[in-house]
Amino acid sequence: MVTLPRLVLLPGMDGSGTLFEPLLAQLGPDLPTTVVRYPPDQPLGYVELEALVRAVLPKRGPYFLLGESFSGPIALSLAAQQPGDLQGLLLCCTFARNPYPSLAIAQALLPFLRFGHPPLWLLETLLLGKDRRPALSQALNQALAPLTDRTMKARLSAVLSVSPPPRLDHIQIPSLYLQAQSDRVVPARAYDALLGLLPNLHKASLAGPHCLLQTQPAAAAQVIRNFIKQHTRLR
């Protein structure tokens, strides 16, 4: 069995990496993976989290990078810097700049707000949509539970203030955007904005909510595997 290049996965807002488990079960044993996990009790922004990710990227051998939702800007920034033998970039339900510019003013209010954990029904509606299932709801709740108030504020602040990283025109590697057709969190215009920055960015549109990799793991895994197989450079 020929082993494919490694896939490095960067998690969504929860940062736990545990929500990738349905996808990992579908990717197959010939596709090695590294799941990056963000500390739940440290209020780190995109600059600090990017440094954390860089430290765990493969030093040798080819790999592909996947940035889900919150982590899209980190994946974009790293791809622009071409670290190691990065052969391809995958972006899932994500953005290069704040997907809701009208909310940018809320950043100034974050220090004065206190966050509790949102009701599970609201998270299910936004993130899982019609695909909610007890196991997924439980996994989502467990992934978010360890996040401290300061950590959540730091991540929300990062999203509200993010802008496209420099040197995006340096991204020459194959790039693919996985878009959820029923995404209630990241609007479809986020892909259009990315396409304006990365004209060679292709799109795979799949039926499903924002948590696409969790609710449609088999379909997403097939798209990811095909992309990696198609763009792996043989040596």
- Quote the CA–CA distance of 64 and 47 in Å, as a whole number: 21
Mean pLDDT is lowest, of 58-67, 117-126, 146-155, 181-190, for: 117-126
The CA distance from 168 to 166, in Å, is 6
Instruction: Give the residue-averaged pLDDT of 57-78.
Output: 96
* Two tokens, residue 37: 């996990």
Cα-based distances in Å from 129 to 38, 122, 124, 204, 221: 25, 10, 6, 20, 20
Q: What is the pLDDT of residue 111?
A: 64
Per-residue model confidence as pLDDT tens digits over 11-52: 999 999 999 999 999 999 999 999 999 999 999 999 999 999
Query: What is residue 149's predicted lDDT score, i.e. its pLDDT?
Result: 87
